[in-house]
Amino acid sequence: MNNLVIGQFVPGDGLLYRLDPRTKILMTIVYVFMLVFANGWTTYLWSAAFLLLALILTKQGLGLYWRGIKPILWLILFTVVLQLLFSGGTPVLFALGPVKVTAPGLMNAIYVVVRFVLIVLMSTILTITTPPTAIASAIESLLKPLKVLRVPVAELALMLSIALRFVPLLMGETDKIMKAQKSRGMSLSTGSLVKRAKAVIPLLVPLFVGALQRALDLANAMEVRGFESAEGRTRYRELAYGRDDTLAFFATLLFFLGFIWLSIL
């Protein structure tokens, strides 16, 4: 849990830290769009170059991002197995009874892994360079046109901000509960799969109870302070575009145009 980097803000002084959060969110959306429509090694390498540039501009060590990927390696492995076993085509590279591994399945597995890792890394860059409150404010600003449709944008942004603030609290609470259970002799790494699954229950129950209690305390605190609606509330820090945001926008646009050109080729 302590190695889970995505969703956490890590202070730094890189160029991406100085960008407006709306710019970084739009860059992330464009990047994910590029990866969804990537159709070959050239487009994936082009997307990886964009990500590498973003990593350099954060001025954070690569070890930080590796710690963020390690907790989800099992999910990546599971995805690879699914692609290998359930993708048809020819030629068949390996066969063991009804289980067949084909060349198209192997290529799909590689593409899925690359796409998965790149999306996770880009999302990690967004969260480590942007405080949760700034992300919520940026989303509220980007969703302002939906107010015409009577969508409660301010309330949605408030809920997102609260949810993002709860992530590190729940992670810390989980760590405390795990240590408390281990001190009582419970083990999560030994025994059969069924036994390990049952051992998770003593973790989930107090975690959910604690989360509900925190939510109730927060709701009572907001009610006592007379909170009624997030609409029209002022903020200590106002969002504003700068020169760096303009340069980042044009750089992202050039990468996107290059991606389209490579896709056509």
pLDDT tens per residue, range 100-124 = 777 777 888 888 888 888 988 898 8
Q: Is 248 left (phi over 0), alpha (psi -120 to 50) or beta?
A: alpha
Assess whether 139 and 256 both reside in one domain. yes
* pLDDT of the residue at 7: 67
Whether 49 and 64 share a structural domain: yes
Q: Do residues 18 and 55 both lie within one domain?
A: yes
Residue 79 shares a structural domain with residue 28: yes
Q: Are residues 195 and 90 in the same domain?
A: no
Q: Tell me, what amino acid is at 60?
A: Q
If asked whether residues 113 and 126 sit together in one domain, one would say: yes
pLDDT at 77 over 90: no
The confidence score (pLDDT) of residue 231 equals: 61
- Cα 168 to Cα 171: distance, rounded to the nearest angstrom: 5
pLDDT in the model for residue 207? 86
**Residue 180: per-residue pLDDT:** 84
In angstroms, how far is the first alpha carbon of the chain from the final one?
43
Segment among 2-6, 29-33, 92-96, 137-141 with least mean pLDDT: 2-6
Share of the chain above pLDDT 90, in %: 15
pLDDT at 26: 92
In the predicted model, is pLDDT for residue 135 greater than 80?
yes
* 188 DSSP 8-state letter: S
What mean pLDDT is reported for the chain?
A: 82
Choose the most confident range, by mean pLDDT, from 183-192, 193-202, 251-260. 251-260
145 preceded by cis ω (within 30°)? no
pLDDT tens, residue by residue, 18-63: 999 999 999 999 999 888 888 888 999 999 999 999 999 898 888 8
Whether residue 19 sits in one domain with residue 92:
yes
Q: Are residues 40 and 125 in the same domain?
A: yes
* Domain hosting residue 210, numbered range: 155-230
| 146 and 32 co-located in one domain | yes
Half-sphere exposure of 189 (CA within 13 A, CB side): 2
Indicate the SS3 state at residue 99.
Answer: strand
Question: Do residues 48 and 121 lie in contact, with contact meaning Cβ atoms separated by under 8 Å?
Answer: no
- pTM of the shown model: 0.77
Residue 94, helix vs strand vs coil:
strand
Does position 15 have pLDDT exceeding 80, yes or no?
Answer: yes
227-261: per-residue pLDDT in tens?
A: 776 566 667 777 888 888 999 999 999 999 999 99
pLDDT of residue 150: 82
Q: Which of 16-25, 70-79, 83-92, 229-238 has the lowest mean pLDDT?
A: 229-238
Q: Work out how many domains the chain is built from and give that number.
A: 2
When mean pLDDT is compared across 15-19, 142-146, 155-159, the lowest value belongs to 155-159
> What DSSP character marks residue 189?
S
